Structure 1
């Protein structure tokens, strides 16, 4: 087997990084996934691999630092199947820490707390979830809670449904921590891999508008006005019929806009805010 592996490494072409990025060694979390090289950092090289190339290739793989308590979850095996280098350590905060990238290209650390449905309910009962989320919020750029399981969360235990709803609401609103649901350990591993892969690819802001493509000038004008806050197809047509041009709508005073049916003070204020506030 060793000979086969050596033969493979010495005969296969690979892509190698043009420069060595900073390594990531998180010691304050139970697990870490990080991708050290972006697509723009790669140079295509087509020659037999050397020991030095092999060293760099291994060190630029996705890495997972995982706490020994996560060993039985099955996620470790699933991550290894996805060509992720998994390293077990006795770590402190969160279950996974993922290096990812936001739309602005800034590299962020996502701290992930994973709980099965039963564990989540137990942590509500003993109030453990509160202290865990406080630390999660303080330690990471983007904290995240994953609740894993397919059971009905309101039926598997003798919990009042409103107690569960109250905790979920508090996590999302008070702690401002997103909650993601996965079916099983394989689904969780897939989700973690997807988040980590954001680091490899350039990010772009998805369009906030519907994918309808206006063809005529009339449709383009209606579509433009519909992009304003609180303006739907009917109001868009009413505004264009009254002011005749898009430019006149954008330069209209509040007094003039109030003369349009179904265009109240709140909508006018929202429109003016979009048009007049400086872009940051």
Structure 2
């Protein structure tokens, strides 16, 4: 109950929220907590905390779906381009009732962290997400005195270049090896699902690098790791 009550005596923090989030319990909870919400149709991010902090929120199911249809990396690439401190909230467990291969999920998560440099924070439910977003606003607007930003530079994304960028973030993979892997295996899902033998069939990918890719794609993600 404390999570959905106005925090008495606290400063009023301003958060810009994408108007497509208005039906979510996160927005309702933030409003009950006394946050000043500015609803806008945002091209980038779901919540803007300050000039440097933008937050994308995905339910576990939406995370799965956006990995599968390719939306996720487009959205996160824009998030990274527009904010110094981009954050992805995964609300709920993306591995429960997943409709895609588990290794592809691990691969997506590790790529987001290692290649895009985006912080992932896992929450249990909308109230948990709202409290985390509130604390971000408190830290930025009260302690750091950062202003809220509503200006973006949305650049066209060449998907093949984005895929090369993601794969090249794997330890031991340079731009040439990234291109070779994608030419041979065609997609991130195929790369992360490949066995060591298939990876070694790729030009300039030896046993050591193949083992590294195989191990990384099966690494168990842990909250706050």
TM-score, shorter chain, exceeding 0.5 = yes
Name whichever structure is richer in strand by fraction: 1
Find the counterpart in structure 2 of residue 77 from structure 1: 28
Secondary structure of residue in 2 paired with 1:198: helix
Work out which structure has the larger RCO, using CA pairs closer than 8 Å and 6 or more positions apart in sequence: 2
Matching of residue 118 in structure 1 with residue 69 in structure 2: no
1:143 and 2:50 correspond:
no
TM-score, structure 1 length as denominator?
Answer: 0.46
Q: Does 1:195 align with 2:146?
A: no
Determine the C-alpha separation between the residues in 1 that align with 2:116 and 2:127. 27
What is the TM-score normalised by the length of structure 2?
Answer: 0.56
1:94 paired with 2:42, answer no
* Structure 2 residue aligned with 1:173: 114
Q: 1:202 Cα shift?
A: 6.8
Structure 1, gaps ≥5 residues long:
1-13, 16-34, 36-60, 100-107, 204-280
Match of 1:182 in 2: 123
Query: Once the 2 structures are TM-superposed, how far is the Cα of residue 188 of structure 1 from its aligned partner?
Result: 0.5
Coordinate RMSD, CA, aligned: 2.2
Assess, with a 3 A threshold, how the Cα gap between structure 1 residues 91 and 158 changes in structure 2: closer, same or farther: closer
* Aligned counterparts, 1:57-76, within 5 A: 61-76=12-27
Flag the 1:113–1:85 CA change in 2: closer, same or farther, 3 A. Answer: same
